[in-house]
Chain A
Amino acid sequence: MSKAGRFLKSFFLVDILRGLAVTLRYYFGRKVTIQYPEKVQPVPERFKGILRLYKYAEGKPLCIACKACQRACGTNCFDIEGVRDPETRAMRPVKYDWKLDRCTFCGLCVEACPTTPKAIRFSEEFRMATADKSRLLFHMEDMYLTGPELQKYLRGGSKP
């Protein structure tokens, strides 16, 4: 642009008016805020949320108490004991303790799990805050909790 053109452009505040038009367009445009407690942003596909145990669709637990996760774990999160079911001759866990405060979310236990589909997996739950430190120890029945029940467990008796 010529020098006179540039002068006229800045003299009539063309760029500033153009900028004001842009902000006005954004003013009426779509907003990106997700209002958190009511709406939760969907987590990515490989998101590492809290660890949980899974069951077959018919309700039988997937875990065979092989302790592969316990051996793979770098921070000794697990304490597992199993017994052999006398009828089906298959191993079932009777104790499955997991310590959330020790876990580094490295995923070695998930890699080590030999069952298909895997018995221990990362869930999509990212809300793990608690006011009671004893709630960071998960027993076997707690490992199956999800959603509101999990939150209820983490908050303990302090708040509904």
Chain B
Amino acid sequence: MTQSGFIFDVLIPMGKIIAVILYPMIMTIIMIWLERRVVALMQRRLGPNRVGFQGILQPFADAFKLFFKEDIMQTQADRLLFRVAPVMVMFSSLLAFCFVPLGEPIRIGTYRLTLWIAESPVGLLLVLGLSSISVFGVIFGGWASNSKYPLMGALRSVVQILSYEIPIGLTVLTVIFFARSIDLVEIVNHQLHSGIWFGFMLPVSFVVFWISAIAETNRAPFDLPEAESELVAGYHTEYSGMKFAFFYIAEYAHMVLVSSLVVIMFFGGWLAPFPNVPAFAFLKVVPGFVWYLIKIMFFLYLYVWIRATLPRYRFDELIRLAWKWLIPLSLVNFIVVAVIRYVL
């Protein structure tokens, strides 16, 4: 094997794999800090600001605590499923990151470095499918705990995710209609060529997708599966130590994943604002993945912002919102977009 072949065939893929594992972890750490600080500031508090600069090392302190915590499994738990559940949740959200591009391809000489592990022609379907697998981890964890609150949390989670998958699917279809592709890279390229981001072309799709995505990731105001005031901590009540940390990291990784999807589908991925307007060409000085990260951070901030603003839904309201509002709305939106796309 030649030296350059070794670099291209072994080192670069390994580097990508490490990056794909590290990226959600680093984003999780940033998110935990961001969430605690932003929610505190919105409640007129200061939040953690002692550990490191402005409290940035607080998540590391929490992580160290979880590392050294006793790993408890109660005697009546289903031993196999109890161990499998956190791995499954973590696995599904990490695997989905393989198909999410982290930026546009970078040219180094003649070599084209792609910032994704796998470009699949059905990337969007794969990502949505993999992110739905995590619900198995949730219900396994709730069932295996052999305790009533985790089971109730898991059941709520299943009902919620099943309900909100439908509007997600219907709104994703409208994006696919316009891009004529399920490939995530192609969707971004189509937005480059058409010169308008799909978020401005399909505002209803974006809003419905975003509301459903918040429900899909079990975040406030739809955080019923882990409602502290009702269910202790929901499906991960009986978990401690690193098993709990897996659930925790997976939840945040899922948020990063959904934010990436929103940015790719509706806000032009790694494209600079106004990609085809010559007057704004100076914005392209900033590399694509930086734009991409800025946009993702905005949506992660929006997650926290919404959490700090809205109270939790009641369960019947949650289901009513999905079946009486979002699903009919996304159906109408789907038909209208399909007709427009057919006529154009």
**A interface, CB within 8 angstroms of B:** 13, 16, 19-20, 22-24, 26-27, 29-33, 35
Docked-complex contact B41 and A19, CB < 8 angstroms: no
Residues from chain B with a CB closer than 8 A to the CB of A26 are 41-44
Alpha-carbon distance A126/B147, docked complex (angstroms)? 44
Residues from chain A with a CB closer than 8 A to the CB of B42 are 23-24, 26-27
The stretch from B165-173, B184-192, B303-311 touching chain A is B303-311
Docked-complex contact B45 and A19, CB < 8 angstroms: no
Chain B, residues 298-337, CB within 8 Å of chain A (1/0): the string is 0000000110111000000000000000000000000000
What total of chain B residues lie within 8 Å of the partner, measured CB to CB?
A: 13
Q: Which residue of A lies closest to B311 (CB)?
A: A19
Docked-complex contact B44 and A23, CB < 8 angstroms: no
Alpha-carbon distance A90/B46, docked complex (angstroms)? 56
Docked-complex contact B45 and A20, CB < 8 angstroms: no
Q: Is the interface of B mostly helix, strand, loop or mixed?
A: helix
Docked-complex contact A23 and B45, CB < 8 angstroms: no
Alpha-carbon distance A48/B148, docked complex (angstroms)? 47
Docked-complex contact A27 and B46, CB < 8 angstroms: no
Minimum Cβ distance to chain A for residue B159 (Å): 23
Say whether B87 faces chain A, with CB atoms less than 8 Å apart.
no
Docked-complex contact A27 and B207, CB < 8 angstroms: no
Residues from chain B with a CB closer than 8 A to the CB of A32 are 44-45
| Given A19-B309, A23-B308, A23-B309, A35-B43 contact (CB < 8 Å) | no
Docked-complex contact B308 and A33, CB < 8 angstroms: no
Alpha-carbon distance A22/B306, docked complex (angstroms)? 11
Docked-complex contact B309 and A33, CB < 8 angstroms: no
| Given A27-B38, A27-B41, A20-B46 contact (CB < 8 Å) | no
Docked-complex contact A23 and B305, CB < 8 angstroms: yes
| Given A13-B207, A16-B310, A19-B310, A30-B44 contact (CB < 8 Å) | yes
Alpha-carbon distance A41/B143, docked complex (angstroms)? 49
**Of residues 36 to 58 in B, which have CB atoms within 8 Å of A's CB atoms?**
38, 41-46
A-B contacts at CB below 8 angstroms, number: 34
Question: Which residue of the partner chain, among B41, B44, B305, contacts A20 with CB atoms under 8 Å?
Answer: B305
Alpha-carbon distance A26/B43, docked complex (angstroms)? 7
Chain B, residues 183-211, CB within 8 Å of chain A (1/0): the string is 00000000000000000000000010000
Q: Which residue of A lies closest to B41 (CB)?
A: A27
Question: Which residue of the partner chain, among B38, B44, B207, B310, contacts A31 with CB atoms under 8 Å?
Answer: B44
Residues from chain A with a CB closer than 8 A to the CB of B207 are 13
Query: Can you identify 19 A-B contacts, CB atoms within 8 angstroms?
Result: A13-B207, A19-B309, A19-B310, A20-B306, A20-B309, A23-B42, A24-B305, A26-B43, A27-B38, A27-B41, A31-B41, A31-B44, A31-B45, A31-B46, A32-B44, A33-B44, A33-B45, A33-B46, A35-B46
Residues from chain A with a CB closer than 8 A to the CB of B38 are 27
Residues from chain A with a CB closer than 8 A to the CB of B43 are 26
Q: Which residue of B lies closest to A25 (CB)?
A: B42
Q: Which residue of A lies closest to B329 (CB)?
A: A11
Docked-complex contact B309 and A22, CB < 8 angstroms: yes
Across chains A and B, which 6 residue pairs bring their CB atoms closest together, nearest first?
A33-B46, A23-B42, A23-B309, A19-B309, A27-B42, A27-B41
Residues from chain A with a CB closer than 8 A to the CB of B41 are 26-27, 31
Alpha-carbon distance A30/B45, docked complex (angstroms)? 9
Q: Which residue of B lies closest to A28 (CB)?
A: B41
Residues from chain A with a CB closer than 8 A to the CB of B44 are 26, 29-33
Chain B, residues 13-44, CB within 8 Å of chain A (1/0): the string is 00000000000000000000000001001111
Alpha-carbon distance A31/B309, docked complex (angstroms)? 17
Alpha-carbon distance A22/B44, docked complex (angstroms)? 12
Alpha-carbon distance A155/B46, docked complex (angstroms)? 30
Alpha-carbon distance A29/B38, docked complex (angstroms)? 12
Q: Which residue of B lies closest to A30 (CB)?
A: B44
Alpha-carbon distance A89/B38, docked complex (angstroms)? 68
Residues from chain A with a CB closer than 8 A to the CB of B310 are 16, 19
Residues from chain B with a CB closer than 8 A to the CB of A13 are 207
Minimum Cβ distance to chain B for residue A27 (Å): 5
A-B contact sample (12 more), CB < 8 A, given A20-B306, A26-B43: A16-B309, A16-B310, A19-B310, A24-B42, A26-B41, A26-B42, A26-B44, A27-B42, A30-B44, A32-B44, A32-B45, A33-B46
Minimum Cβ distance to chain A for residue B109 (Å): 46
Q: Which residue of A lies closest to B43 (CB)?
A: A26
Alpha-carbon distance A23/B45, docked complex (angstroms)? 12
Q: Which residue of A lies closest to B211 (CB)?
A: A13
Q: Which residue of A lies closest to B45 (CB)?
A: A33
Residues from chain B with a CB closer than 8 A to the CB of A19 are 309-310
Alpha-carbon distance A19/B310, docked complex (angstroms)? 7
Residues from chain A with a CB closer than 8 A to the CB of B306 are 20
